[in-house]
A and B are shown apart, each in its own frame.
Chain A
Amino acid sequence: MIPHVPLGQWVSDLIDWLLATVPWLFDGISSVMQVLVDGLTDALVSPPPVVWIVVATVLALLLRGPWLALYTLLAFLLVVSLELWVETMQTLALVLVAAVIAAAIGVPLGILAARHRAVSVAVRPVLDFMQTTPVFVYLAPAVFFFGVGVVPGVVATILFAIPPGVRLTELGIRQVDREVVEAAQAFGARPGQVLREVQLPLALPSIMAGVNQVIMLALSMVVTAGLLGAAGLGAVVVRAVTQLDVASGVEGGLAVVLLAIFLDRLTASFGHPTAVSRLLRARTRRAAAGAAGPVVPAPRSEAAAPAEAPASR
């Protein structure tokens, strides 16, 4: 017989030890998160819903255009009519706090991983572990460390949402055209300059795709967070399940989906030209063309003559 390896016991002992040695750390994290989520929730629910609905609609219009604006308006009105406005805003606050923290950890880690092979090698198995571990496994330690309520939910959400931020940032930076990076180096740029002036701007679409993923994963965690006692749509769904209340379960689930679509479409536009910037570009171009006189050819048509595409070597 193979002897039983008390792996679970070890982890449990480690947790006990951590709680006994650095209790202030977890208390600190706990209160900071609590303050952040509470503050944001207050800001979202205290004014009448119409204020934030207008803000969200205008934001959608500026970043994506009229269709998303229309969707936003209808979706949020529907949420209000379902009487889930407060819960939706509580969930939004939780998602935003978790996503911002996850991105704030994931993006710099991705940059480090892209620049140092060793970091990349060390981080990869950890990310694999974080991504494949069933969510519920996080929950028990999270509760141990942070008690019940919104904080363990946020922490579990952050852990769950970090990997895509790291991965897509690293990938984005690695995919930047090597020749362009070489060009910056060849003209004497410092490593920091290369990062700031070349690698990050060129990796931005990929990094932003990572941020989008972070937000979506964070949202997918809200129901789980509801299990831990976090207020919001998750709690609505959890209550519906335990009471076998199909009607409110469907409504809570629908609100999650509506919020998810809004956040996804809105953040998918990060790193790409927005409706506003497209407009501005077109205008400056027209102005420049006008100043240069009528001989300037139409801007798009003569861009990058296909005949001069890089020939195969």
Chain B
Amino acid sequence: MTSPVLRVSGLTKVFGAREREALRLAAEGLGRDEVYRRTQSTLAVHDVSFEVARGELFVVMGLSGSGKSTLVRLLNRLIEPSAGTVEVDGRDLRALDDAELRRVRNQKISMVFQHFALLPHRTVRENAGYALKVRGARVTEQRERADWALETVGLLDRADARPDELSGGMRQRVGLARALAADSEVLLMDEPFSALDPLIRRDMQDLLERLQSELSKTIVFITHDLNEAMRLGDRILMLKDGRTVQLGTGPEIIAAPADAYVADFTSDVDRTRVLTAGDLLREPRLTARLGDAPGDVLRALGAVEANGVYVLDDGRRIAGVARDHLLARAVQEGRAALGPQELVTDFATIAADRPVVEFVHLLGRHPVPLGVVDDDGRLLGVVPRAAVLDALSAVPVTGRRS
């Protein structure tokens, strides 16, 4: 694996005059409220560490006030950290002087804002080309890059309009174009779609997914909407009162929320669309092979109290299912090895990346659990109905939001 583009360790921010004292109390493990009560300083972010790989879309999630905006602004030093380091491509941002920092901001890290933050007195094109203007690029180059970026987000025909003539979705496209035109590797996005209505938000998510597949930027994406996080994110960091509570892929978080706070978020998610067959995969308790002795297989079935078993060929592909009564007849008739006449096709399979919603109707209808297979038909594992029901019904024990 290549080295991470962004490496954050021990990142901490205290707002307020008594920073040292607040840091000490925080290090002792006191929570934000307690730190504030004792020092009148806000522990906005505390001891957050993570790495983001090239081309990864990394999501930071949390409730309002959990420190998301502060965290993302620490990443380009719009807010000065109280402690900890941020490395971009192996360079420590805190070691840079002002001019170097400005160059990094101009060429390596771009930002997209929740309320778009466009210059109202400039045209859409001038806004899109802003990074190049700051860079001192020639006017023709500014224009070229801006037009390319506007075309990429589908807004070239409005290049001469002013931001206030555009709808919210269009304005955020300009915000995105401004970041793309800078041609930086890292994109910081602070709740970029939160101010948009749901339909437009979906459009913008589609656009971002498309851009990501074409341009593969390294993105840190802030949101408070877990569905959005699940949809876009490779990995998700859950933030609570400035601290990390969980870091993992979407399905990991849904399948095993670290605490009630996280579970509270996950309860809002439509798990049947998020969880895939691969997430619920189990090792089958029993499989048989072509050529096994029917008597042995029957005995093993009895031991696990089942009445059917997947029979695999030499390549682990599914040859069929052996039922108990057919096995019993084979034993009576004295056949020594499992062959095609003992097998039935009474089973169903699904690919590992399919969500629950697509296979829930197949569950429990066969003597064997649903089989999960790869592209070549090899059995990867099974999804028992109970496992699906268990995952779907996992509700937080405490702390439900009303």
Please list the residues of chain A having a beta carbon within 8 angstroms of any beta carbon in chain B.
Answer: 177, 179-180, 182-190, 193, 197-198, 201-202, 288, 292, 299, 302-305, 307-311, 313
Interface size of B as a range = 35 or more
CB pair B194–A313 under 8 Å, yes or no, is: yes
Q: Return the contact of A308 from the options B119, B157, B169, B188 (Cβ within 8 A).
A: B169
- B116 — which chain A residues lie within 8 A by C-beta? 179
Q: Return the contact of A197 from the options B119, B131, B165 (Cβ within 8 A).
A: B119
- B73 — which chain A residues lie within 8 A by C-beta? 182
Q: Whole-angstrom distance between the alpha carbons of A267 and B302 in the complex? A: 96
Q: Offer 24 A-B interface pairs, CB within 8 angstroms, sorted by A.
A: A179-B114, A182-B78, A182-B113, A182-B117, A184-B130, A185-B105, A187-B110, A187-B178, A188-B102, A193-B134, A288-B160, A303-B165, A303-B167, A304-B164, A304-B166, A305-B168, A307-B197, A308-B167, A308-B200, A310-B115, A310-B168, A311-B196, A313-B191, A313-B224
- In the assembled complex, the CB of B190 is this many whole angstroms from the nearest CB of chain A, namely 9
CB pair A308–B182 under 8 Å, yes or no, is: no
CB pair B197–A187 under 8 Å, yes or no, is: no
**B195 part of interface (Cβ distance < 8 Å):** yes
- B111 — which chain A residues lie within 8 A by C-beta? 182-183, 186-187
CB pair B134–A188 under 8 Å, yes or no, is: yes
Given contacts A304-B165, A304-B167, A311-B197, contact A292 B157 (CB under 8 A): yes
Q: Whole-angstrom distance between the alpha carbons of A309 and B116 in the complex? A: 12
Please list the residues of chain B having a beta carbon within 8 angstroms of any beta carbon in chain A.
Answer: 64, 73, 76, 78, 102-107, 109-111, 113-121, 130-131, 134-135, 157, 160, 164-169, 178, 182, 188, 191, 194-197, 200, 224
- B117 — which chain A residues lie within 8 A by C-beta? 177, 179-180, 182-183
Given contacts A303-B166, A304-B164, A304-B166, contact A187 B194 (CB under 8 A): no
- B78 — which chain A residues lie within 8 A by C-beta? 182, 185-186
- A186 — which chain B residues lie within 8 A by C-beta? 76, 78, 105, 109-111, 188
Least CB separation from A305: chain B residue: B167
- In the assembled complex, the CB of A177 is this many whole angstroms from the nearest CB of chain B, namely 7
Q: Whole-angstrom distance between the alpha carbons of A202 and B118 in the complex? A: 12
- B196 — which chain A residues lie within 8 A by C-beta? 308, 311
Least CB separation from A177: chain B residue: B117
- B131 — which chain A residues lie within 8 A by C-beta? 187-188
Q: Whole-angstrom distance between the alpha carbons of A307 and B169 in the complex? A: 10
CB pair A189–B134 under 8 Å, yes or no, is: yes
- In the assembled complex, the CB of B102 is this many whole angstroms from the nearest CB of chain A, namely 4
Q: Whole-angstrom distance between the alpha carbons of A186 and B78 in the complex? A: 7
Q: Whole-angstrom distance between the alpha carbons of A302 and B161 in the complex? A: 12
Q: Return the contact of A179 from the options B103, B113, B188 (Cβ within 8 A).
A: B113
Q: Whole-angstrom distance between the alpha carbons of A265 and B118 in the complex? A: 31
Q: Return the contact of B106 from the options A182, A188, A307 (Cβ within 8 A).
A: A188
CB pair A187–B106 under 8 Å, yes or no, is: yes
- In the assembled complex, the CB of B55 is this many whole angstroms from the nearest CB of chain A, namely 22
CB pair A299–B110 under 8 Å, yes or no, is: no
CB pair A187–B134 under 8 Å, yes or no, is: yes
- A302 — which chain B residues lie within 8 A by C-beta? 167
Q: Whole-angstrom distance between the alpha carbons of A131 and B312 in the complex? A: 94
Least CB separation from A300: chain B residue: B165
Q: Return the contact of B194 from the options A182, A303, A311 (Cβ within 8 A).
A: A311
- In the assembled complex, the CB of A199 is this many whole angstroms from the nearest CB of chain B, namely 11
- B107 — which chain A residues lie within 8 A by C-beta? 188
Least CB separation from A299: chain B residue: B165
Least CB separation from B105: chain A residue: A188
Q: Whole-angstrom distance between the alpha carbons of A292 and B158 in the complex? A: 10
Q: Return the contact of A187 from the options B105, B167, B169 (Cβ within 8 A).
A: B105
CB pair B115–A201 under 8 Å, yes or no, is: no
Q: Whole-angstrom distance between the alpha carbons of A180 and B164 in the complex? A: 14
Q: Whole-angstrom distance between the alpha carbons of A292 and B159 in the complex? A: 12
Least CB separation from A284: chain B residue: B160
- In the assembled complex, the CB of A300 is this many whole angstroms from the nearest CB of chain B, namely 8
Of all A-B residue pairs in the complex, the 9 with the closest CB atoms, nearest first, are A308-B168, A188-B106, A183-B117, A179-B117, A186-B111, A310-B195, A188-B105, A305-B167, A188-B102
- In the assembled complex, the CB of A208 is this many whole angstroms from the nearest CB of chain B, namely 14
- B76 — which chain A residues lie within 8 A by C-beta? 186
**A-B contacts besides A187-B106, A309-B168, 20 pairs, CB < 8 Å:** A180-B119, A183-B113, A183-B118, A183-B130, A183-B178, A184-B130, A186-B78, A186-B110, A187-B105, A187-B134, A189-B102, A201-B119, A201-B121, A299-B165, A302-B167, A304-B166, A305-B168, A308-B168, A308-B200, A311-B196
